[in-house]
Amino acid sequence: MKFYFAPGTISVATAYLMEDAGVAYDPVQLDFKAGDQTGADYLTINPKGRVPALATERGVLTETGAILEYVASLVPDRGLVPDDAWDAAQMRSALHYLASTVHVNHAHKLRGSRWATQQSSFDDMRAKVPETMAASCHYIETNWPLAPYVLGESMSVADPYLFAVCTWLEGDKVEIADYPKLAAHYAMMRDRPAAAAIRAKGITRS
Ligand SMILES: N[C@@H](CCC(=O)N[C@@H](CS)C(=O)NCC(=O)O)C(=O)O
């Protein structure tokens, strides 16, 4: 499967999971500075102009939460999506929170032009990022099991998603050490061979 990514972005979550699950992929790097994501070639692959995108034998899949669940379905023995309906819903609750709140907080740093036109608006949005990201970290620290995984004892696809988000915290001026459970989760995920593999491929520097 071709995997379209840009280093340090949310595509880190999918790459991590594919490495961890032993799912083969062919990484295709986009250069955001050159505007590859909105070039005509890539828009035929993902008309949203975003990464990640995973080209499967059944078509191109986008949206990190959906891609992660698809990858999990390729390795059913790993149990990366809980069988129990409540546990699976808890996992999806975490995925949706990361996608629709935390990722959006982070995007206010560099992507203000999605929501506004004035430089003063961009500056204001950017200035707010450390506060909103810290608030999200506080919420996660106090409401998620993180013992040691997002859902508790078993790893799920929410774990690489949280890992990817944690790679942004230093740049967002959030001190992860202020959130001991989150810091322990990040350290644990960083120590797994999957993290070393995606570092070696230039997908993340963290
Ligand atoms: N909801 C999408 C968001 C994807 C997304 O926003 N990706 C960012 C990188 S983190 C991107 O491609 N940005 C390119 C741009 O805004 O030009 C997902 O979770 O996969």
Q: Is the four-CA dihedral 163, 165, 171, 174 of positive or negative sign?
A: negative
Q: Is the CB of 167 under 6 A from ligand 1?
A: no
Comparing CA positions, the residue from 163, 201, 157 lying closest to residue 185 is: 163
Question: 126 and 69 in one domain?
Answer: no
Question: 116 and 74 in one domain?
Answer: no
CATH number at residue 34: 3.40.30.10
pLDDT category at 139 given cuts 50, 70, 90 is very high
**pTM of the full structure:** 0.98
Q: Name the domain count of the chain.
A: 2
Atom of ligand 1 nearest to the CA of 65: 19
State the residue range of the domain holding 113: 85-192
Question: 175 and 125 in one domain?
Answer: yes
Q: How far apart are CA 59 and CA 103, in angstroms?
A: 25
Which amino acid appears at position 1 of this protein? Answer: M
First-to-final CA distance of the chain: 24
pLDDT category at 65 given cuts 50, 70, 90 is very high
Phi and psi at residue 166, to the nearest 5°: -65, -25
pLDDT for residue 106: 98
Question: 175 and 130 in one domain?
Answer: yes
Atom of ligand 1 nearest to the CA of 111: 16
pLDDT category at 19 given cuts 50, 70, 90 is very high
Q: Whose CA is nearest to atom 9 of ligand 1?
A: 9
Q: Which of 14, 48, 50 to mutate to test the pocket of ligand 1 (most atoms within 8 A of CB)?
A: 50
Provide mean pLDDT across the span 147-172.
98
Question: 72 and 9 in one domain?
Answer: yes
